[in-house]
């Protein structure tokens, strides 16, 4: 048996000693495995060994299938990718959330492991009922200020909540409490509010409706710690939540909530900050936490919301960080009006939503929050960085428009294509550049897609027309929009550019609907439209972005603008740069 177990890992996991190098990805052996019936299915209780010690563990529901198909069995060796140490009925039990099977078929137990239970006292047999004498993470046992011993003994962590287990108690701090929202529709009136609960393991959103709003709204206070049990665990409605949790809680009539006194073991707020430069790698609609220095505040303005037709207040802010990028962030309504921080302040945002308007932007919705000058090492570090370097640095932005808004120089330098290739622009994070180039080829197959006349999304031909899934409507004719691919050269190199409708219009000088009709009626005339587009020169503004297809990555170049050459302006620019050279 060549596989080595991580000696000493079980002790580290038992003590919840996250600082130990053995805590990360230890390799352990399953020396016993037992099915346990729980509401909604079967779970497996196992004993994990590192060859020296063993401890009890419970496999998360997601592992049930690999036990049932025999990929995981007694004596299998696994790598623990993610686990949490919990206390259940006075015993420590490791909840195993994520594993990799290292060796499935192993003949026998490795070493002669002994139990850790009771090891803090003199080592007594594990089956004698014990008074709780856990070693490390249960400081809550000792500091009994306001702690309910009975509830403490049965605590589950938020990360381990699932719909299959009904008997649990969490101890958590309310990091955010929403105002009461009301609705009126055909089915009646109603009201709701929600809170976010936080413990060391994670966060979960909880919502109360109608009667429960009356019962709980005044009782639950932001910042305070509570014991919560008998709430319903359901799948999270991700569109209404910014938290990273598959589940959420419904606070119901039978839900028990008890305030817990001063409790410092529960963190105030947990952020997982993303550098501004890395927001380029996030998808539209993702939620991120960022911390940045406020560089610009354009104040509040009023817009009419497209969806509701109602006026909304908004405030546009620009933030920078030490990844040397800036990003625009929008606050709405109450947040927009109450935001009050001088430029140069460090602000932390929880749950800001990524948008792709002009590259990348952020928007703080109703379930996000912010804190000005938070008391954290990260904030101090950024403040110091800003004072020493940041205040005088130049920041790249995700879009040219944003650059002009904030008075920065445009982030799209005019360069040569050879430079685009040599500098691998777009690798790692999107890059924007401009160049002057000549169109040498335009792909004539599928130059346009049938779009929805209302929302521009692609529509599909059906029996009785063109169907838009987004609008849930069928239209007699689609509105064709260009998605053009063309090859463009300058004096140094060549690239393939993709362009949407406005680029197609500029290059082909014809509306996409007319061109598609022409292709059907007179293909020679349509071919001529493509031929005529060749050997014309434009100033292009391009976004270079790395995209991964089937595990290979390549850079995609999207033409954002194609401007015919203004010879007078170009000449003036040239004269200017010559004069600069001579000066």
Contact residues for Zn ion, defined by CB under 5 A? 452, 454-455, 457, 468, 470-471
The helix-helix angle for 512-521 and 523-532 (nearest 10°) equals: 140
Closest to Zn ion by CB, 136 or 457: 457
Closest to Zn ion by CB, 389 or 470: 470
Beta strands 346-355; 361-372: pairing state: antiparallel
Closest to Zn ion by CB, 137 or 478: 478
Closest to Zn ion by CB, 177 or 467: 467
**DSSP state at residue 167:** -
Query: In the block, which residue shows the tokens 């401007």?
Result: 563
To Zn ion, the closest distance from the beta carbon of 145 in angstroms equals 58
d(CA 6, CA 189): 59
Beta strands 53-59; 91-103: pairing state: parallel
- Listing from the earlier edge strand, what are the strands of the sheet with 473-475? 460-462, 465-468, 473-475
To Zn ion, the closest distance from the beta carbon of 500 in angstroms equals 17
Residue pair 435/492 in contact by the 8 Å Cβ criterion = no
Residue 485, strand partner residues: 498
To Zn ion, the closest distance from the beta carbon of 459 in angstroms equals 7
To Zn ion, the closest distance from the beta carbon of 471 in angstroms equals 3
Closest to Zn ion by CB, 101 or 471: 471
Q: How far does Cα 264 stand from its chain's mean position?
A: 28
The number of C-alpha atoms within 13 Å of 247 and in the hemisphere containing its C-beta is: 16
Per-residue exposure over 491-522, b if at least 16 CB sit within 10 Å of its own CB, e if not: eebebebbbbbebbbbbbebbbbebbebbeee
To Zn ion, the closest distance from the beta carbon of 451 in angstroms equals 8
Ranked by CB distance to Zn ion, the top (closest) residue is 452
Cα R_g (the chain), whole angstroms: 30
Beta strands 247-251; 311-320: pairing state: unpaired
Closest to Zn ion by CB, 469 or 566: 469
To Zn ion, the closest distance from the beta carbon of 480 in angstroms equals 14
To Zn ion, the closest distance from the beta carbon of 284 in angstroms equals 18
To Zn ion, the closest distance from the beta carbon of 186 in angstroms equals 24
To Zn ion, the closest distance from the beta carbon of 100 in angstroms equals 44
- Distance between start and end Cα atoms, the chain: 77
Query: In the block, which residue shows the tokens 């817990």?
Result: 260
Closest to Zn ion by CB, 218 or 472: 472
Q: Tokens in use for 190?
A: 């109603």
Closest to Zn ion by CB, 35 or 455: 455
Beta strands 361-372; 325-332: pairing state: parallel
d(CA 377, CA 380): 5
Find the length of the chain: 583
Closest to Zn ion by CB, 174 or 452: 452
Q: What is residue 563's three-state secondary structure?
A: strand
Report which of 558, 568, 574 is spatially closest to residue 504, judged by C-alpha positions.
558
To Zn ion, the closest distance from the beta carbon of 461 in angstroms equals 14
CA torsion 504→506→508→514, rounded to 10°? 70
d(CA 403, CA 296): 11
Closest to Zn ion by CB, 417 or 468: 468
Closest to Zn ion by CB, 291 or 468: 468
To Zn ion, the closest distance from the beta carbon of 483 in angstroms equals 17
Residue pair 222/197 in contact by the 8 Å Cβ criterion = no
Q: Tokens in use for 56?
A: 């009890």
To Zn ion, the closest distance from the beta carbon of 512 in angstroms equals 17
Report which of 194, 207, 210, 260 is spatially closest to residue 233, judged by C-alpha positions.
207
Closest to Zn ion by CB, 22 or 471: 471
d(CA 212, CA 204): 18
């Amino acid at each position: 048996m060549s596989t080595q177990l991580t000696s000493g890992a079980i002790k580290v996991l038992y003590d919840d000693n996250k600082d130990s190098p053995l805590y990360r990805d230890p390799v352990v052996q399953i020396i016993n495995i037992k099915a346990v019936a729980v509401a909604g299915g079967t779970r497996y209780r196992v004993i994990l060994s590192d060859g020296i010690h063993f401890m009890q563990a419970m496999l998360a529901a997601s592992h049930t299938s690999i036990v049932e198909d025999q990929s995981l069995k007694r004596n299998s060796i696994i790598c623990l990718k993610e686990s949490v140490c919990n206390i259940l009925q006075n015993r420590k039990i490791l909840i195993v959330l994520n594993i990799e099977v290292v060796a499935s078929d192993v003949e026998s137990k490795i070493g002669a492991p002994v139990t850790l239970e009771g090891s803090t006292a003199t080592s007594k047999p594990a089956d004698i009922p014990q008074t709780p004498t856990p070693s490390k993470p249960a400081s809550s046992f000792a500091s009994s200020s306001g702690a309910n011993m009975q509830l403490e003994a049965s605590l589950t962590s938020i990360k381990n909540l699932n719909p299959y287990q009904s008997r649990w108690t969490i101890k958590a701090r309310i990091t955010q409490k929403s105002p009461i929202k009301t609705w009126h529709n055909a089915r009646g009136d109603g009201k709701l509010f929600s809170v976010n609960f936080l413990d060391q393991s994670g966060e979960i959103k909880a919502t109360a409706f109608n009667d429960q709003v009356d019962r709980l709204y005044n009782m639950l206070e932001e910042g305070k710690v509570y014991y919560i049990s008998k709430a319903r665990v359901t799948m999270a409605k991700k569109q209404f939540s910014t938290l990273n949790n598959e589940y959420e809680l419904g606070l119901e009539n039978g839900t028990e909530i008890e305030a817990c006194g001063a409790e410092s073991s529960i963190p105030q707020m947990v952020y997982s900050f993303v550098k501004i430069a890395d927001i380029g790698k996030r998808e539209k609609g993702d939620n991120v936490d960022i911390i940045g220095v406020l560089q610009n505040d354009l104040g509040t303005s009023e817009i009419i919301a497209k969806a509701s037709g109602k006026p909304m207040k908004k405030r546009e802010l620009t933030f920078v960080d030490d990844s040397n990028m800036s990003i625009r962030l929008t606050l709405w309504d109450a947040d927009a009006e109450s935001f009050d921080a001088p430029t140069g302040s460090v602000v932390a945002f929880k749950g800001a939503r990524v948008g792709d308007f002009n590259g990348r932007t952020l928007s703080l919705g109703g379930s996000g929050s912010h804190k000005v000058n938070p008391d954290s090492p990260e904030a101090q570090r950024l403040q110091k960085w800003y004072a020493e370097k940041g205040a005088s640095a130049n920041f790249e932005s995700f879009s040219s428009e944003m650059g002009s808004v904030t008075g920065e120089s445009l982030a799209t330098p005019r360069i040569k294509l050879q430079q685009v290739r040599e500098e691998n622009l777009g690798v790692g994070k999107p890059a924007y550049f401009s160049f002057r180039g000549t169109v040498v080829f335009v792909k004539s197959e599928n130059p346009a897609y049938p779009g929805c006349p209302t929302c521009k999304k692609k529509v599909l031909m059906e029996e009785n027309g063109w169907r838009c899934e987004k609008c849930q409507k069928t239209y007699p004719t689609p509105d064709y929009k260009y998605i053009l691919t063309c090859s463009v050269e300058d004096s140094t190199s060549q690239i393939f550019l993709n362009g949407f409708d406005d680029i197609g219009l500029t290059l082909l000088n014809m509306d996409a609907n007319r061109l598609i009709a022409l292709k059907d009626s007179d293909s020679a005339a349509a071919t001529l439209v493509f031929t005529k587009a060749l050997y014309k020169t434009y100033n292009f503004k391009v976004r270079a972005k790395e995209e991964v297809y089937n595990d290979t990555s390549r850079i995609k170049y999207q033409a954002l603008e194609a401007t015919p050459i203004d010879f007078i302006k170009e000449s003036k620019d040239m004269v200017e740069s010559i004069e600069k050279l001579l000066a």
